[in-house]
Amino acid sequence: MIIAVFPGQGSQTPGFLTPWLELEGARERLERYSELAEVDLVAAGTEWDADRIRDTQVAQPLIVAASLLSWHALDAATAIAPAGVAGHSVGEIAALVASGAISDDDGMRLVGIRGRAMAGAAAAEQTGMSAVLGGDQDAVVARLAELDLTPANYNGGGQIVAAGALGALQTLAAEPPASTRVIPLQVAGAFHTRFMASAVDTLRDAAGEVEVADPTLMLWTNRDGSTVTSGSTAVGYLVDQVASPVRWDLCMASFAERGVTGIIELSPAGTLTGLAKRALRGTPTVAVKTPDDLAAAAALLTGDHA
């Protein structure tokens, strides 16, 4: 079973969309996505610097747009589709589109609203996020609880992302759990925590206007790593997940249980295949960073890979 996965915020880099715009119809597609998300995604993906594309209301639609561009390019490159899909955090929107649960247009409208709402929630209080690498998971979670921090992302491979007040994150870095490294992340808010409650309300209102279908591909949820067969349930989970932890560790455990034999990460790729190499050792992966990587992804789907 070969599956496709879609990355979350922080995977974008300056200029990464430039080679994708050389594909036939890609610029026109991205211009349409720009109108839907209310962000100039062509400029953001080709011209804007790292600080400018780090802005939540830019980064989220930019990442989902790139994932969808590369997903459609992969579809054009091979007649064989992945058996299932999953997305990390905002990547879940791309996964829902790929699964057939929602349309491209609705996905891009939702991600534009999500990005603006989360940016607004983040501006209300001084919060942030830090990656905690290594250590014992229970000890790490206990230390976060002591500091009133939330384990916002369980990424697997010995990585948890802590989120909350900046002062508490500074204390965590100064006094980390045993055998860990704490790395501050360049994000402007405590995503996937109670600090995002207002964004959940905004996204729920927007999701109520979306036409939803049941997914035609196996679809995993960040909620608990389970598969979802109801489109309306998947959209509900997508909304709630804005203020709930990302359980990518449970998604990867579920991949293993389901017998996943290969993983293709769509653009901007690299983060999730990196986690899979640590947590799912021996599972073939392809990171589709540029159109040049489409051939390797198609070969994995068709069984022609080395």
Q: 207-262, pLDDT tens digit by residue?
A: 999 999 999 999 999 999 999 999 999 999 999 999 999 999 999 999 999 999 99
pLDDT at 305: 56
Are residues 39 and 176 both part of a single domain?
Answer: no
Are residues 232 and 107 both part of a single domain?
Answer: yes
pTM of the predicted model, to two decimals? 0.95
The owner of tokens 């290594």 is 134
Is 89 a catalytic site residue? yes
How many separate domains does the chain show?
2
Are residues 115 and 135 both part of a single domain?
Answer: no
Are residues 234 and 161 both part of a single domain?
Answer: no
186 band by pLDDT with thresholds 50, 70 and 90: confident
Query: What is the arrangement of strands in the sheet containing 84-87, beginning at the earlier edge strand?
Result: 218-219, 84-87, 2-6, 262-265, 285-287
| Residues 247 and 138 sit within 8 Å (Cβ to Cβ) | no
Are residues 94 and 197 both part of a single domain?
Answer: yes
DSSP 19: G
Nearest-angstrom CA–CA distance, 295 and 165: 45
Nearest-angstrom CA–CA distance, 100 and 147: 41
Q: 127-180, pLDDT tens digit by residue?
A: 999 999 999 999 999 999 999 999 999 999 889 999 999 999 999 999 999 999
- 303 alpha-carbon distance from chain centroid: 27
First to last CA, the chain: 16
Q: What is the CATH number of the domain that holds 208?
A: 3.40.366.10
In the predicted structure, residue 106 carries a pLDDT above the cut 80: yes
Are residues 74 and 145 both part of a single domain?
Answer: no
Are residues 99 and 210 both part of a single domain?
Answer: yes
| Residues 13 and 50 sit within 8 Å (Cβ to Cβ) | yes
| Residues 189 and 146 sit within 8 Å (Cβ to Cβ) | no
Q: Which tokens hold the place of 112?
A: 């534009």
Peptide bond into 268 cis (omega under 30): yes
pLDDT at 10: 87
Are residues 24 and 59 both part of a single domain?
Answer: yes
29 band by pLDDT with thresholds 50, 70 and 90: very high
DSSP output for 112-148: HHHHHHHHHHHHHS-EEEEEEEES-HHHHHHHHHHTT
Are residues 29 and 174 both part of a single domain?
Answer: no
Three-state secondary-structure class, residue 169:
helix
User: Which of 163, 184, 205 is where one domain is finished?
Assistant: 184
Q: What is the CATH number of the domain that holds 178?
A: 3.30.70.250
Is 34 a catalytic site residue? no
The mean predicted confidence, pLDDT, of the chain is 96
Q: 6-18, pLDDT tens digit by residue?
A: 999 989 999 999 9
| Residues 114 and 189 sit within 8 Å (Cβ to Cβ) | no
Nearest-angstrom CA–CA distance, 37 and 34: 5
pLDDT, average across residues 192-210: 96
Which residues span the domain enclosing 136?
Answer: 131-184
| Active-site residue, selected from the candidate residues 34, 192, 244, 267 | 192
Are residues 118 and 142 both part of a single domain?
Answer: no
pLDDT at 303: 86
Are residues 223 and 164 both part of a single domain?
Answer: no
| Active-site residue, selected from the candidate residues 11, 70, 89, 99 | 89
Closest CA to 7 of 114, 111, 88, 99: 88
In the predicted structure, residue 267 carries a pLDDT above the cut 70: yes
Q: 34-76, pLDDT tens digit by residue?
A: 999 999 999 999 999 999 999 999 999 999 999 999 999 999 9
Are residues 138 and 286 both part of a single domain?
Answer: no
